[in-house]
Amino acid sequence: METKIFLNLPVKDLNRSISFFTNLGFSFNPKFTNDKGTCLIIGKNISVMMLVEEFYKTFTHKEICNAETTNEVILSVQVESREKVDQIIENALKNGAAEYLEAKDYGWMYYRSFFDLDGHHWEFSVINEDQIPDKM
């Protein structure tokens, strides 16, 4: 069996989140989608479960952090090109996201980041592993 990763994020408005990520070019697994959550497909073995806050609370006894003021996780996704990084970020901004940091270009890595509609921190990058310096 292949290892798969399912990250879980609470969302306030499921339909708004689905629309936002659809506009960024992502798709969803209908087998894991209902009125309580959806499964955002990042890659073959990586998905993000976006769960309505009330449903998310059934999986933990802890408080849901306020992603507007507290950073619970940075979701970093590597894509195939600098153009794809820029396309995703520009689409995110057009659809209500807030850009977080200025673009960073290290020669071997280029990335940009945004906060989604629920305040979750996303980074998209392209990395040329052949050019990673021996000592960073």
Whole-model pTM: value is: 0.89
User: Where do the structural domains in the chain lie, given as residue ranges?
Assistant: 1-59, 70-136
* Angle of CA points 129, 98, 105, to nearest 5°: 25
| Cβ-contact 123, 112 below 8 angstroms | yes
Q: What is the residue-averaged pLDDT of the chain?
A: 94
Classify residue 44 by its DSSP letter.
T
Q: What is the pLDDT of residues 21-52, one digit of tens each?
A: 999 999 999 999 999 999 999 999 999 999 99
The whole-angstrom separation of Cα 128 and Cα 30 is: 34
Query: Looking at domain 1-59, which of 3.50.50.60, 3.10.180.10, 3.90.550.10, 3.30.465.10 is its CATH number?
Result: 3.10.180.10
Report whether CATH 3.10.180.10 matches the domain 70-136: yes
Confidence label for 68 from pLDDT (cuts 50, 70 and 90):
confident
Q: DSSP E strands: which ranges in the chain? A: 5-11, 27-28, 37-43, 46-52, 74-78, 98-99, 104-105, 109-115, 121-127
State pLDDT tens for residues 71-99.
889 999 999 999 999 999 999 999 999 99
